[in-house]
Structures are given as structure tokens and as C-alpha cells.
Amino acid sequence: MRVLIVNTSERTGGAAVAANRLMYALNNNGVKAKMLVRDRQSDDPRVVGTGRRSLMRWRFLWERFVVFLCLHLKRTHLFDIDIANTGMDITSLPEFREADVVHLHWVNQGMLSLKDIRNVVRSGKPLVWTMHDIWPATAICHLTLGCRSFRSRCHNCKYLPGNGSANDLSSKVWRRKERLLREANAVFVACSRWLEGEAKGSALLKGHRVVSIPNPIDTRVFCPGSQTEAREQLHLPQDKLLLLFVCQRVTNVNKGMTFLAEACQKLAVDYPELKERLGLVLMGGHADEVAESLPFVSYPLGYITDENQIVSAYRAADLFVLPSLSENLPNTIMEAMACGVPCVGFKVGGIPEEIDHQKNGYVAAYRDSDDLARGISWVLCEADRGALSHAAVRKVTQNYSQSSVALRYSELYQEILAQKHFKL
């Protein structure tokens, strides 16, 4: 069986990391998988680029320009929405033609247009579409932020100037998606049970099969190790309790740095003994910009791509905190848990599926910085961190290992291939 995984990037972003890991997991478990990407970042022969980078860059810029015009020349929400008005027809590529199953992942920002996706649908090849966010089930947004219009029809979009209108950009793209998906014989895969429930409520996906399969992780790479050696490698102090925060861009509002800063202020007041004992490790772009706003000494590591250094950052930490305001099934929590690090996060999206409250971490009330502070202090000062660590590793091994996730996808591929042959 040959599977073609399609994603915008090979390695940049959570969806790219997950898609890349799935490719390795499938190949390690008897499925021949290749990855087709716009942004190729390695020389792995199983990863294929789509062509000239200048042309792909132009497609990306054209879509952003059209969105910019629709936002009345304002940058607000410029990267919060996608309209898929341009992309590449991949159906003529040899990798596509030889594939038994086409597996779409995150294909936005000039990778595939809606027309290109329709060409994939009309090719007749079995189609699986993994949802790393809600975009396949809405008109234009990746985060609904409480909006429920996608349950009937997207319009009056909050991301558009003046909250849109009855016939705004979201309404027009909705109709295009509606026509496309009416033709599609696809299985949609949500990475969390939470997103599965959201997708099943979408009017766009009515009549389509939606299942939940988590992202895989290589537990041979992300695993417990020496905290002392990890801190030495990253030049972090040995005598402090270290709290780790990781995201692609630390200043991303949806990742909740504001709530983490408020929680730290509360900890500094309620637990003055932590003032000298606690340090914050920040991994991600723009980390220097927020370090000074925190009451505890901070160690900004910047954006790291080297996997060994990323593993060391997790192993160096006593606690991982991700106070995101919207999440699917974050890879970072999975990675931290695989390294034996207890986690704290808000009760939102798929986070409560990863963190079992007060068993391998702490699930704080949504947008509640006081409860976030309680969770941090509970893990650091009250709980048996050794027991939490063992429970975290066990949870990942049982639910997110490469072999278990690859098996579930293999069974899904076999099922849809059998259905196609039966129809023939």
C-alpha cells in the first residue's frame, strides 16, 4: 500500500511535525508513505517538493494580498483566515499517480486551492483528510473562538471588518466548500475527540465520516533522560525549579502568555520562597520580548529546530505549562509528557485528553490565572512529581506511540481501499 501525505511544510508548525512523524511511523510499520510539501527542508528521499520556490512564494503572497484587501488593508487577522484561492494541481505528479491513498493534512497558504482539492476528489483516489484545526469544517477560520455559525452556514464573520455581513467573504467561501465537499468521498480525521465533536457538528461535513486518531510521537527520541546533563547542555542552572513554556511564537496571544505572566505574579506574592527558587525557560520566537515582564528569572532559548536540543529543554524542566486559549491536541504537551515532565494547561480543546487531572499533571479552569497558579504550585510544592512523571510517560506510551497510531491509520486505509474495490 502506497500513501501520499500532503502538507504545506515539511517541518515548520505543529501540523508539519505531526505529518512528518506519521510518515516515519507508517514506513516503520509496513506502509510505504511519501510526503509532498511546498516547503521542503531536508534531503529525505521520501519527502518531495512541489516545484519552484519562487512560484510557490508568489501563490502564498497572492492569497495574502487578497485577504489583505478583504480586511480593508489592515493586518489584523491577516494570518487567522485562509481562502484557498490559489495553489497547485498535484494530480499530475508521479507521486500522486502511484499513490493508493491520498492523505491531506494542513494544505493552506498557497499549497492547495479549493479547485486543486476538487481535482484530488475527482481523481477517484481514496481520500483521508486529517484536521489539525477546524478550517476544513468552516469557511475561512482556523479557530472559531466560540462562534457556532459553522453548524449551519458561515456568514457575519467576526474576523472580517464590521463582523462581516450576510454575504461576506466567509459566506462566499462556504458555498465553494459546500459544492466541493458535496462531491467528496473522504474520511475526516480529527486529532482529538474534542475536534471530532466540533467537526461532526459542522454543516459542511454533514454526511461525511469523521473519526478521531491522535498524532504519533517517537518515544525512542522523546523519553526521560538526565536532567543534570540537559541543563548543562543548555547552560541552565542546576539549583532552580524550572518551568518550561514552548510555542512557535511566544507572543502569540492564543498561547496564553498573558495568563502565565498573571499566574507567575500571583505565585510571587503567595509563595515568596519561590522568588529565588523558580526560573522560567522560554522556547520559541520572540522569547526575549516577554522575559522582562515575568517576576521570576527567565531563560529565553529562542526558536529551536534541533530535535536533540528540544528534547534537552523538556528534560531540563520540572514542569511544562501551556495556557493556550484554543488547542487541538498539542504536540508540545505530548513531547513533555513523553520526557516524563508533568504538565499544566487550561481545560480547553484536546488538552484534558492528554493531561489526566492530578494524575500526570493539572488541568486548570479555562482562562483562570489563579487556578493556573494553583496548578503550578500543586505540581512543584505538593504532588509526588515522581509519580506524576511515571504516569505521564505511561499515558504517552499507551496512546500516542508510533506503532499504535500507525496501526489505526493502516486499518483506516485498508478499510477505505476495500470499500473502493467493493464498489468497483
Per-residue pLDDT tens over the stretch 358-397: 999 999 999 999 999 999 999 999 999 999 999 999 999 9
Of the candidates 186, 207, 209, which has an alpha carbon nearest to the alpha carbon of residue 420? 186
Q: DSSP state, 130?
A: E
Query: pLDDT-derived band of residue 423, with 50, 70 and 90 as boundaries?
Result: low
CA dihedral sign, ordered 8, 13, 15, 17 = positive
Segment 189-234, tens digit of pLDDT: 999 999 999 999 999 999 999 999 999 999 999 999 999 999 999 9
Of the candidates 394, 363, 356, which has an alpha carbon nearest to the alpha carbon of residue 378? 363
Grid cell locating 67: 485577504
Segment 235-248, tens digit of pLDDT: 999 999 999 999 88
H/E stretch holding 77 reads none
Amino acid found at 36 = L
Distance CA 212, CA 405 (A): 11
Backbone angles phi, psi at 68, to 5 degrees: -60, -40
Q: Flag whether pLDDT at 106 surpasses 70.
A: yes
Between 154 and 56, name the one with better pLDDT.
154
- pLDDT, average across residues 94-107: 97
List of residues 6+ apart from 133 with CB closer than 8 A: 15, 106, 142, 143, 195, 328
List of residues 6+ apart from 27 with CB closer than 8 A: 33, 46
- pLDDT, average across residues 393-412: 95
The pLDDT value recorded for residue 319 is 97
Of the candidates 329, 318, 314, 324, which has an alpha carbon nearest to the alpha carbon of residue 372? 324
Q: Flag whether pLDDT at 102 surpasses 70.
A: yes
Distance CA 147, CA 164 (A): 13
- pLDDT, average across residues 418-424: 65
The pLDDT value recorded for residue 84 is 97
Query: pLDDT-derived band of residue 130, with 50, 70 and 90 as boundaries?
Result: very high
Q: Flag whether pLDDT at 52 surpasses 80.
A: no
Q: Flag whether pLDDT at 424 surpasses 70.
A: no
**In whole angstroms, what separates CA 113 from the centre of its chain?**
21
- pLDDT, average across residues 72-80: 93
Query: Contact at 8 Å (CB) between 225 and 292?
Result: no
Q: What angle do CA 398, 401, 404 make, to 5 degrees?
A: 80
The pLDDT value recorded for residue 332 is 95
Side-chain half-sphere CA neighbours of 21 within 13 A: 26
Query: Contact at 8 Å (CB) between 143 and 134?
Result: yes
List of residues 6+ apart from 338 with CB closer than 8 A: 217, 219, 222, 223, 314, 392, 393, 396, 397, 400
- pLDDT, average across residues 94-98: 97
Task: Name the pTM for this structure.
Answer: 0.90
Residue with cell 518550561: 244
Segment 257-307, tens digit of pLDDT: 999 999 999 999 998 888 889 999 999 888 888 877 789 999 999 888 899
- pLDDT, average across residues 135-163: 95
225-230 long-range contacts, Cβ below 8 Å, gap at least 24?
A: 225/311, 225/312, 225/315, 225/339, 226/315, 227/315, 227/316, 229/312, 229/315, 230/311, 230/312, 230/313, 230/314, 230/315, 230/316
Distance CA 132, CA 183 (A): 22
Distance CA 276, CA 74 (A): 44
Query: pLDDT-derived band of residue 422, with 50, 70 and 90 as boundaries?
Result: low
- pLDDT, average across residues 338-344: 98
Distance CA 392, CA 343 (A): 9
- pLDDT, average across residues 136-159: 95
Q: What is the mean pLDDT of the chain?
A: 94
- pLDDT, average across residues 344-355: 96
Query: pLDDT-derived band of residue 54, with 50, 70 and 90 as boundaries?
Result: confident
